[in-house]
Amino acid sequence: MVPDGSGSRDVIEAATEEVMGSVPEASPADVDRAVAAARHALPAWSQTPVPERAGLLSALGAAMAARADEIATLVAREVGTPENLSVLIHVGLPTLTLAHAAELVADFPFEVEEPPSLVVREPVGVVAAVTPWNYPLHQAVAKVAPALAAGCTVVLKPSEVAPLSAFVLAELAEEVGLPAGVLNLVTGAGPVGEALVSHAEVDMVSFTGSTGAGRRVGEVAARTVKRVALELGGKSANVVLDDAPLDQAVPDGVAKCFLNAGQTCSALTRLLVPRAALSEVEDRAAEAAATYVPGDPFAAGTTIGPLASFEQRERVRAAILQALEEGARLVVGGPEPPEGLDRGYFVRPTIFSEVRPDSALARQEVFGPVLAILAYDSEEEAVALANDSDYGLAGGVWSADPERALAVARRLRTGQVEINGAMFNPRAPFGGYKQSGNGRELGVAGLEEYLETKAIQR
């Protein structure tokens, strides 16, 4: 449908600072129309047979895979991720998520006999999906796929920083035959999201973003007692135990911090190491950081791209300056732009050591390629340091003894823990403890977020 509002917002390419497109600034009337379309489509879609819903999700994933290179290029320009990684992550993950949602819903027990009752799982209704800019297509699909699989209809509001892949998603949905009104798209900044979250005809809000913004979403949604799922910030600890192979643990730890230029909510940004190994860890970390070459996402040899926006670059530089003021010791990097990269939102890959547990760098999310190394003297202290955070989104444990690592992983108050560098599993539930949010995305738990439970007594 044609937007009612006349405003628009430019989309800026991260590496060039040039306008690469523009999107409408939705008006309150646009939000009303999108929600009304979702509400109108809900009865028919919720009653659509599960195999048909699953088939459309599979088709959507296949259509996305067919345009992988085009989408990867688009997101690389918006966000700054090197093109080769953009294909693997920004397109590969959402493609897998669509395929997995189709598999899950095909076997899900929507009705279970619990005599004398019949317990029925039904779609929660109209879902407002508000998504961030760091993994724009993946985060959109992580909400849209299970919501549609469950029988819900969706109004998607992507971040104004990186909204263009959401238009490709909507285009593909229409191409594969998703019925009108099942997936709706509105674009714009915070007021558009607030209008959507507060809308009386929205049954559920699924939000990914900063913890501060998540608090606001929770407050606004509570006025109409909506269901709310929040995936928020993190300051995740990577615990390297005293028997860990440092030649593997440290480079992997740097990689898990610097992925997507550090613009990852689950990034392992605190590296906790035995005090006796601190010097060796610093040397190995510096060696690993030297392999991250900032540059144009499309240039050969680039291994880390720019940040997504001017505002984010300035926030990261401010965090680096604050860490210096608070006495952390700079191992590599710093607040100056990388040499020869005066245009684009670039920052130097940066590592600090001797970071105090009470400092801002140890406690606040930076959302850039900035690693904090903290030393500990015992395993008990390491666990206490890892858990000494307002957040609890992810974590890591390294040990030569997998059972020892598992025992420590069980003690970490966080939603995901990887052992000895294990990779992200898009089929596993993802979400946080404490101020990292509530609810889960992906896997069976992610599907269940979009279902209500009804008991029919007979």
Active site residues: 231, 265
- DSSP sequence for 118-185: EEEEEE--EEEEE--SSSHHHHHHHHHHHHHHHT-EEEEE--SSS-HHHHHHHHHHHHTTPPTTSEEE
Instruction: Answer for the pair 228, 218: CB distance below 8 angstroms, yes or no.
Output: yes
Please list, in sequence order, all residues whose beta carbon lies within 8 angstroms of the beta carbon of residue 434, skipping any fewer than 6 positions away.
Answer: 389, 390, 391, 392, 413
Closest CA to 110 of 457, 446, 452: 452
Q: State the Cα–Cα distance between residues 262 and 256, nearest whole angstrom.
A: 8
Instruction: Answer for the pair 106, 182: CB distance below 8 angstroms, yes or no.
Output: no
CA 417 to chain centre: 16
Q: How many CB atoms sit inside 10 A of residue 28's CB?
A: 14
- With tokens 């724009």, the residue in question is 136
The sheet with strand 329-332 has its strands ordered as 329-332, 350-353, 370-376, 270-274, 237-240, 395-398, 418-419
Q: How many CB atoms sit inside 10 A of residue 116's CB?
A: 8
- The one-character DSSP state at 400 is S
Q: Coil, strand or helix: which one is 329?
A: strand
E strand map for 160-258: 183-185, 204-208, 227-231, 237-240
Q: How many CB atoms sit inside 10 A of residue 65's CB?
A: 16
Instruction: Answer for the pair 431, 273: CB distance below 8 angstroms, yes or no.
Output: no
Backbone region of residue 336 per phi and psi (left: phi > 0; alpha: psi in -120 to 50; beta: other values): beta
If you count them, how many residues does the chain have?
458
